[in-house]
Structure 1
Amino acid sequence: MKNYIWVIVLLVLSINANAQQNVLSKSEAIALALEQNFDIKFAENTVEIADNNQGVLNTGFLPTLTGSAGATYNRDDSTIEFPGQVDENGIPRPNFEINKAEAQRYNAGLNLNYILFDGLGRRYNYKRLKEQYQLTELQARETIQNTILQLLSIYFEVARLSENEFAQKEALEVSKDRIKRAEYAFEYGQNTQLDVLNAEVDVTNDSIILLNTQRLLKNTKRDLNVVLNQEVTNLYEVDTLITFIPMLELQAMVDDVSINNLALLQTERNLSINEYDVKVSKSGYLPVIGLTGSYGWNLNQSAASAFFPGVNNSTLNLNLSAGLT
């Protein structure tokens, strides 16, 4: 007998455990939304782009180095005629032929440009990108907050409809029991047929209300899956236990609204960005000082001609200059 009781206890515990596994808690729903929601993923990617843009490599502080190289090859066959010309013996001068005359040209160069001063435009642009990154972070936080707010609104709506469904089922059972009592009372002459009909009308109304509540509950659960980026066929059970925040904590949140309100913080960042935009524009009134350097190598190998022998010419060139605009 004792073994039988333990088997029943274990069976009940296992059933309760399996039932609890399908319950989606508020913390689990928030964690799932932070991981799967598309709006949050998009916001995170935007923050990553802004983080890349705020780097020093994107502000023009580094010099520009370019390299170039080239090669040219020529091969010519030519015939040079001397019409009307004779040599010292009075014999007409023969034609001069040059076959497979080859010429090569090679060049390579490096050019270095660096702006020493550009009217502080780079500096203000760098600070602007920093502010833009902070603004993007605030926008991402706002997206996360709005998503969590939407999630919890739907979550609590599922909880409310779940409780309503349970209450409507209880009301329907009470109405069905009322029909039985009304029928028994009618049979024993305690009431009229009108009371029975009224009880049947109440059952019909309660059934309709229950069906509408179940329909709304299924639709709301689908909305919950959309926010969580889950299959719409997943029908989660939610935690219907709600803990209210004490008024003292609410007052503390109201007191910190100027510090934590994202709309105000974003406005401050936008104002800073606009100020830096104005400063970048004003930097155009100031001069630009730049340095330019180049180093080049050239090799020219020319073929022999009728009057000149072939030559090899090699040149190294170094150039440094400064400019003021």
Structure 2
Amino acid sequence: MKSSRFLIKFILLINIGLLINNNGFSQEIIGLEKALSMTLKENVDIKIKTNELEQIRNYEKVGVLGALPRIILNGSASSLNGNSSLEFATDNFPSIENERTESKSINGNIGISYNVFNGLGSIYTFQKLKKQRDLKSIELLIQIEQVLLKTAKEYFDIAYLQENYKIVKELLSISKERYNRIKVLNEFGNASNLDLLNAEIDLNKDSINLMNVEFELLDAKNQLNITLNRDILYDFKVDDKVEINRNLSYSDLNRETQNNNNNILLGQYIIDVSKKDKKINTLSILPNIDISVQYGYNQIESNTSLVLDQSTLGLTNFINFS
């Protein structure tokens, strides 16, 4: 009996504390439309999928694929100071033994390089990136659909628990009145101890039910706060007045679902990307042809060479097969 009365007092203190807290701080009331709007703006999973789509769009450029000409700019300079020993193949030139050597070289060129043929790999890679962009777009839509459904479910869970809390709280109030009434009757001998015990048991049961609903409601709010990417302890209420369109047709909805099922489209895009990969791998056996043109300057000076100073200035053409 004493432990039961202690439990009742403890629960009443909790309820009083919650009542004071709710009266002291006004709670934000969120409607379903606002919750869905906040989800689209703040949800972490949607932001991740959006960033992945932006990355694909950044790669979906002709220049990134190497399909545009490349400008080449090179320059170098070197010098050497030391001792050299030279022995020539004929006697027309005297040998050099441990002579002081000074040499320097300067090189610089600018050019342009272009891949003429790579087995159409750039074209198929570009097409693959476009398919990957479409695939990421579908993944983003699917993620948005899933998160919005999750938000709606969590919203209605909170609305249900709010109403359930009101009902259980009213039942607890009735149990308290019944307990107090029977307690007074028991003191005057008009109610038995068994009646008082049953009333106390009902009061304990309703108190525990109220506490369970409070914990469930708190957990449901925490889940929605996580979905909305905000402080998990942020307190609020949801508007339980939601307009429902009662003119919806199941057959029309079912037909639209079949025609616009993003999961089916996702599977098709995955197959398309795999086909492009197969084509790209098949083309790897074909040769690559690169051409380049460079205009450069080259100068070499050396006091131990047959040619003391040599410089060149002009165009150089390259063609490369690989």
TM range, smaller chain: 0.7 to 0.9
Q: d(CA) in 1 for partners of 2:59 and 2:75?
A: 32
Q: Return the alpha-carbon distance in structure 2 between the equivalents of residues 55 and 247 of structure 1.
A: 47
Q: Corresponding residue for 1:276? A: 276
User: Could you say which residue in structure 1 is the equivalent of 2:243?
Assistant: 243
Sort the Cα spacing of 1:250 and 1:51 in 2 relative to 1 into closer, same or farther, 3 A. farther
Q: For this pair of structures, how many residues does the alignment match? A: 290
3-state DSSP of counterpart to 2:63? helix
Identify which range, 45-54 or 32-41, moves more after superposition.
Answer: 32-41
Report the counterpart of residue 127 of structure 1 in structure 2: 127
**Match in the other structure for 1:160:** 160
Q: Does 1:51 align with 2:57?
A: yes
Q: Which residue of 2 aligns with 1:25?
A: 31
Q: Distance in 2 between matches of 1:179 and 1:71?
A: 100
Native 8 Å contact 2:71 2:110 kept in 1? yes
> What one-letter code is carried by the residue in structure 2 that aligns with 1:45?
N
Corresponding residue for 2:20?
Answer: none
Q: Give the structure 2 partner of residue 113 of structure 1.
A: 113
What is the deviation of 1:212? 0.9
Tell me: CA distance 1:300–1:288, structure 2 relative to 1, closer, same or farther (3 Å): closer
Aligned equivalents of 2:272, 2:123: Cα separation in 1 = 14
Q: Structure 1 length normalisation: TM-score?
A: 0.76
Residues 210-229 of structure 1 aligned to structure 2 (within 5 Å): 210-229=210-229
What is the letter of the counterpart of residue 279 of structure 2? K
Point out the more displaced range, 52-61 or 192-201.
192-201
Q: Distance in 1 between matches of 2:153 and 2:264?
A: 24
- 2:60 paired with 1:63: no
Assess, with a 3 A threshold, how the Cα gap between structure 1 residues 78 and 165 changes in structure 2: closer, same or farther. closer
Identity between Structure 1 and Structure 2 (%): 29
Structure 1 Cα separation of the partners of residues 84 and 137 of structure 2: 73
1: CA distance, partners of 2:206 / 2:32? 31
Query: What TM-score do the two structures reach when normalised by structure 2?
Result: 0.77
Q: Take 1:178 and 1:304, find their aligned partners in 2: how far apart are those partners?
A: 118
| 1:303-318 correspondence to structure 2 within 5 Å | 303=303, 311-318=308-315
Name structure 1 gaps, 5 residues minimum: 1-15, 81-95
Q: 1:77 to 1:161 in 2, by over 3 A?
A: closer
In structure 2, the CA distance between the partners of 1:205 and 1:113, relative to structure 1 (3 Å rule), is: same
Instruction: Give 1:258 deviation, angstroms.
Output: 3.2
The amino acid of 2:273's aligned partner reads I
The verdict on how the C-alpha distance between 1:69 and 1:211 changes in structure 2, with shifts beyond 3 A counting, is same
State how far apart, in whole Å, the 2-side matches of 1:270 and 1:282 are: 19
Q: Which amino acid aligns with 1:109?
A: N
Distance in 2, Cα, partners of 1:26 & 1:174 = 33
